[in-house]
Amino acid sequence: MNDSISITSVLRHTFAAYLGQRAVLLSLAALAVVPVEALSALVGKASPVGAIVVLIVDFVVLALFMGAVVQLAADRRNDAPVKSLGELLRVVRPVLGGLGETWITAHRAGS
């Protein structure tokens, strides 16, 4: 068995997957970036408590975004139908705790 990986093939497949899901990904990215940046501009620099609130909101939004991208990739791999933005967020919501634990563990290991 002599299977080799073609970087060109992998990149072509990856970009095709992202292009096929661009409407959902761009909507999700806009929902992830705009509110966090607005909150950061309004409260983040005002006080230490505001900065902590922004950090927590940023973590939750980032975890939702990463989970949605992973779910899109899994759906693409399994030839599942394309999910709407709302469906993706409903699928990802239950795993937020696990993502939080992973984030904390990674930060502790890096310290």
Buried b (16+ CB within 10 A) or exposed e, 19-51: eebeebbeebeebbeeebeebbeeebeeeeeee
- Asked if the structure places residue 12 within a domain, the reply is yes
Tokens of 106: 């990674």
Q: Which residues of the chain have pLDDT under 70?
A: 1-2, 44, 110-111
Number of domains in the chain: 1
**Residue 32: per-residue pLDDT:** 80
**Residue 21: per-residue pLDDT:** 80
Share of the chain above pLDDT 70, in %: 93
**Residue 71: per-residue pLDDT:** 82
- Asked if the structure places residue 51 within a domain, the reply is yes
**Residue 70: per-residue pLDDT:** 80
- Asked if the structure places residue 92 within a domain, the reply is yes
- Asked if the structure places residue 66 within a domain, the reply is yes
**Residue 110: per-residue pLDDT:** 66
The four Cα atoms 62, 68, 70, 73 give a dihedral, to 10 degrees, of -140
- Asked if the structure places residue 30 within a domain, the reply is yes
Provide the residue range defining the domain that includes 74: 7-110
- Asked if the structure places residue 2 within a domain, the reply is no
**Residue 59: per-residue pLDDT:** 81
Tokens of 17: 């997957």
Other CB atoms closer than 10 Å to residue 14's CB: what's the count?
A: 12
